[in-house]
Each structure stands twice: as structure tokens, then as C-alpha cells.
Structure 1
Amino acid sequence: MSVTIGSNRALSTPGGVGEARPRRRRASALPFLWPVLAFSVLFFVYPLAKNVQVSLQDFTLASLYTGDAPYIGLRNYGRIFGDPVFRTAVGNTIVFTLFSIVFQLTIGLALAVFFVRTFPLNALLRSLLLVPWLLPLVVSGTVFRWMLDTNNGIINHILLGLHVVDTPVPWLTDYDTAMVGVLLCNIWIGVPFNMVILYGGLQSISPDLYEASAMDGAGKLRQFWYITLPMLRPVLLVVTTLGLIYTLKIFDVIWVLTKGGPANATQNLTTYGYQLSFGGLSEFGQGAAVGNVLILVCLGLSLVYLRTLRAEGEVR
């Protein structure tokens, strides 16, 4: 009897087997974490730290050969903030992002509401609408560059044939129309993503709500305003936040279509940072500073996204 009591006491003691088991479980989980930690450090933490370091140095093309890149503190940030092209890039980024999000969200929601009904070829049409989202951005940008070509583009051919315009529109070569051309391409690419996410959100709304409101005399517009939109609020917040992050950092489409031109009409932060570093200026320090500014903005939006998920109970 005394042996049994002693064994029970040993199990309940702080240093006994009861606490040793959780420690062994944690130790056995460590080997599975090392690959993730190594990947994160190698491909995320180190490049980010290196980018911050370069942004604090006078790092030019000569530094690649000599290895001499003196630290200059925050001068690179002062230089880009004082550059008129940076202010133009910020303004273009805001315009490009806001118009893209508004039209992508509006068109995506309209298509989601349309496809939530049951009709023949519903699944086929939804599948075809996913094509813009599945194509590589470089391919989409190249196709739109051909379509928007001033002399041979199909867009101008259609507009001239319908007598909407009298002369070909220089979509990508004129200062006043270049942003419109780039927006058309980006909106076309982003609509399927919004449609798919919002379509899933619409399917989670109970049909009983619409039936009950219809019995009370509510029409389609009232149902959409008082049932659909409030029930879709969590999904709309997530889609909008993800869309903002995606659109802020977009580079491929603009670079393929206009390379930020003409006369910086479509220059955004990503193309501006790329041109500073690799576009012939070789101002790697200033390019890194622009990248860090963009990272901070995207990080802020990511925190908003996580906060939104936590508020909806999806992140515990």
C-alpha cells in the first residue's frame, strides 16, 4: 500500500512524470518547426533586414564592385520624400488602388449576386470568368497591350466601327489616358477573385431570410440593402483588405503595359522603386527605402486584416 501511495505522489510532484510528458511532446514537435523557421528566416527575415540595411547606406553600382557602402542614416528616405516623382508615384498609387478596388468590388458583387441563382450553364460561365485570375499577370498585360494599341488594337477598332470616336485613342501612350488603360487591365484581372469570395459569402446566407422578408413585402432592392449587404459585411471587409494589399504592390501589369510612363503618368511605388534600383539609376539605397515604405503600408493593412478576422471570431 505504501508503494502505491509513493508512486501517486511521484506522479503528482512538480518534477514527476505528469509534467515530463508535456515537455516530451513539445520536444518532439521541435523538429517539425525547424524547417518552417529556417524557411522564414532565409526567405523573409533576412531579405527584410538586408533591405532595411541597404536603405540606410549609400549603396550604388560602384558598391557592388568595391564593397564600400557608407552608412548615411535616413538620407535616402529624405531624398525620396523630396523627389517630385515620389509624390507623383504616391498619388498614382492611391488613384490606381481606389479605382481598382471600387470597380473590382462592385463588378464582382454584381456577378456573385447574378450567379447565386440557378440557371443552365451557371457552372460553366463561372469557370470561364475565372480565366483572368488564372492567367499569369505578364500574359494578361501583354494581351491588353495588344488590345489597347493605338493603331492595331481591337479596342480602337471597335470604337471606330461604332463611331464612338473619330480618331484612334492612344490608350497607353497619352498622359491623360494611360492610367485608364492600366486600370482596365487590372480591373479585369481582379474581378474573378472578388466574385469567387463574395459568391461563397452569398451562399452562406439562409434563404429563409429572403422568404420571410418577401412575405413582409420587401422587394429585391430592400432585401439586398437590409439583408445581403449586412450579412456580407465580414466577407466584404476581408475582400477589400486583401484587394488593397494586392493592388498596392502590383508591378507586373504596369511594367508590361507602360513601364510607369508616359511622363510618370502611371508610375506607382513599385515601378518607382524598381527604376531607382534597376532602371539605370542604380540608386539601390533609395530603391530599398521605397520598398520599405511600401512594406510598412502593406504591414499596416495586414494588421487590419488580422484584426478583422479576430473580430469575426475566425482567429482565436
Structure 2
Amino acid sequence: MRTETQTQTEPTRGLRYNRKAQYLKKKSEPYLYLLPTILLMVILLIIPIYMVIRYSFYDNVILNKNPEFIGFENFKEILTDQSFIVAVKNTLIFVGGSVIAHMILGMTFAMLLNTKYLGKKTNALFRVIFALPWMFTASVIAVLWKMLLNPNGVINYFLIELNLTSNHLEWLSSRDFALLSVTMINIWAGYPFFMISILAGLQGISSDLYESSAIDGANIVKRFFYITLPQLKPILISLILLDFVWTIQQFALIWMTTGGGPINATEMLSTFIYKLGFSKYQYAMASTSAVILLFVCTIIAIFYVRHQRGQE
């Protein structure tokens, strides 16, 4: 026969079990919703990154069923490759020029749109015009600028009419102008992102700060350097870090305008990696280059995350 204590204990155990099951169900429910996204990230992100890193330590991968593990030999070879060094130099010029110009143009146009001297309709019109390049895809931008920079295109026509040059310049086919040309195209295509973000930051600055500084006798230059820039500093740092990562990975625009030519004049790390993998079928070397690029982008991403946490 069951004792009275046993009879009282069984409902208590069942109640505890039900509470524990409900607690685990409540805790695991968010992860069930996240499961499809996690699976996609593992399949499309984690596994490919792992494979690329693994390939960088092997020789003649994919084409060879039993590739040989060679350690850091691929890294030694790629870091001494003249084509890789040229791609790094071009990328630094391209990224540095683009980021600096994006910040200057974005700040200039944002301050112009934030002024009180423009009417509402004029302001709205300028916003649409200035933001227009950001709405175009890379293919549209490439086709548009290839037409404009054609030897018989509009830009050469105006230069000749203004007596700035007497020749039809080969903007995208000349080693002297190709890198400058693609950099200018990328600047034109990317500055609206800075402009819109900085404009949002400017509209968040209290007008009381400017009014107080004006009473104290501060001119426009001092107000810009002592009020505007310090208030925009968190936004500017975030924009620069993001733009650096995006620009260093720019591929479509370069590939559809110059293809890395002429004679490696516009060869970037992105086009260099693509050619190694899909033109020369040197998958191990392409993976090695990709790992180096991934390492650089990861460092920038770490700085970005730390900066965001510092803001919070």
C-alpha cells in the first residue's frame, strides 16, 4: 500500500516536471525561429569560409583528388608575387581616394541640404539629384560611364571645346588615366551614402549649440570644427570603416569597366582573386589571396564593432 507521503510527492514531482518542460520550451522557442537563418548562415557562410581557409594551406586543390598540405608556402609565394603587389597598391589608391572623397563630398552636400536658405521644393529636388547615383546598379553605372568616357564621348567633347585638351583621351584604355577614371566613377557612385547619413546626423544636432556659439562670437569655421565635427564624429568613424570594407571588395564596377586592365593598371585584389580562381584555375592561390583580404576586413570589422559598443 502507498503511504500518504508517497501520494503527496508524486503530484509535486509531476508539477515540477511540467514547470521545467515549460521553462525549456520557452527558452528554446526563439532558437527554433532562428534555426532556418542559422542553417543558411552555416551553409552559405561558415562552410565556404572554412573551405577557403583550408584550401589556402594545400597545393593544387580541387583539380587534384589528394592535395598536398604545404602549410604557409602559398602565403609566402603570394606575398612575393609582383601581380599581387601591384593589385595591393592599386587597391590602396582606389580605396583611400574613394573613402576620402566620399567623406568630403558627402559632408559638403549634406551641409548644403541642411541649410535654411533653400526652399522646401528646392531642397527636395536637390536631395533627389544628389542621391541619384546611389539608386543605380553597378551595371548601369558601368555602361553610363563607359559611354561618357568614350574617346568620342561627352567628356572629351567638353574638354576639347574648353581648350583643356586637343586629343581624344582614352580614359579607360590608358595606363595613365584608367585607375583615376575608375576611382572617380566609384566616388560618384558612393558619395550619396555619406551624404544621407551625415545629413541625418546634422539634423540631430541641437540648434541651441549654434545659437550659443554665435552669441559668444564664434564664426562659421569655428562652429564647424568645434560643434559640427565633434557631434558627427561617431557617425563619420562608422561611415569610414564601413566604406573601407565595401570599397576594398568592389568588383562589379572594376570588372565591367576595365576588367583590371590595361596591363594591370586597375587590377584590384577582388579582380586579382577572381582571375586566379576562374581564369587560371589556381584555386589554392586564389584562396590564399582571399584569406589575406578576409583578415584585413576582419580587423576593420573588429574596430567597427568596438566603436559601436563604445557608443552604446
Give the TM-score normalised by structure 2: 0.90
Q: Per-residue displacement from partner, 1:34-90 (whole Å, max 9, x unpaired)?
A: 112101101100111111122222236xx44x6343333222222211211111111
- CA drift of 1:268 comes to 1.1
* Larger deviation, residues 112-121 vs 245-254: 112-121
* Larger deviation, residues 197-206 vs 18-27: 18-27
Give the aligned partner of residue 70 of structure 1. 68
Paired with 1:233 and 1:240, the residues of 2 have a C-alpha distance of 11
Paired with 2:209 and 2:20, the residues of 1 have a C-alpha distance of 52
* Larger deviation, residues 42-51 vs 25-34: 25-34
**CA RMSD of the aligned region, Å?**
2.1
Q: Per-residue displacement from partner, 1:133-180 (whole Å, max 9, x unpaired)?
A: 111112211211121122x12111111111111212221112121111
Paired with 2:71 and 2:187, the residues of 1 have a C-alpha distance of 39
Paired with 2:86 and 2:159, the residues of 1 have a C-alpha distance of 31
Give the aligned partner of residue 286 of structure 1. 285
- Structural mapping, 1:116-135, within 5 Å: 116-118=114-116, 119-120=118-119, 121-135=122-136
Give the aligned partner of residue 203 of structure 2. 203
SS at match of 2:77: helix
Give the aligned partner of residue 85 of structure 1. 83
Give the TM-score normalised by structure 1: 0.89
- Identity percentage of aligned residues: 32
Q: Per-residue displacement from partner, 1:167-207 (whole Å, max 9, x unpaired)?
A: 12221112121111011100001110000010011111001
Give the aligned partner of residue 101 of structure 1. 99
Give the aligned partner of residue 41 of structure 1. 42
1:31 paired to 2:32:
yes
- Structural mapping, 1:47-196, within 5 Å: 47-59=48-60, 63-64=62-63, 67-118=65-116, 119-120=118-119, 121-150=122-151, 152-196=152-196
Name the count of aligned residue pairs. 299
Give the aligned partner of residue 262 of structure 2. 262
Paired with 2:176 and 2:67, the residues of 1 have a C-alpha distance of 40
- Structural mapping, 1:1-12, within 5 Å: none
Q: Per-residue displacement from partner, 1:8-57 (whole Å, max 9, x unpaired)?
A: xx79xxx6877665433112223112112101101100111111122222
Give the aligned partner of residue 3 of structure 1. none
Give the aligned partner of residue 213 of structure 1. 213
SS at match of 2:68: coil
Task: List runs of 5+ in structure 2 lacking aligned partners.
Answer: 1-7
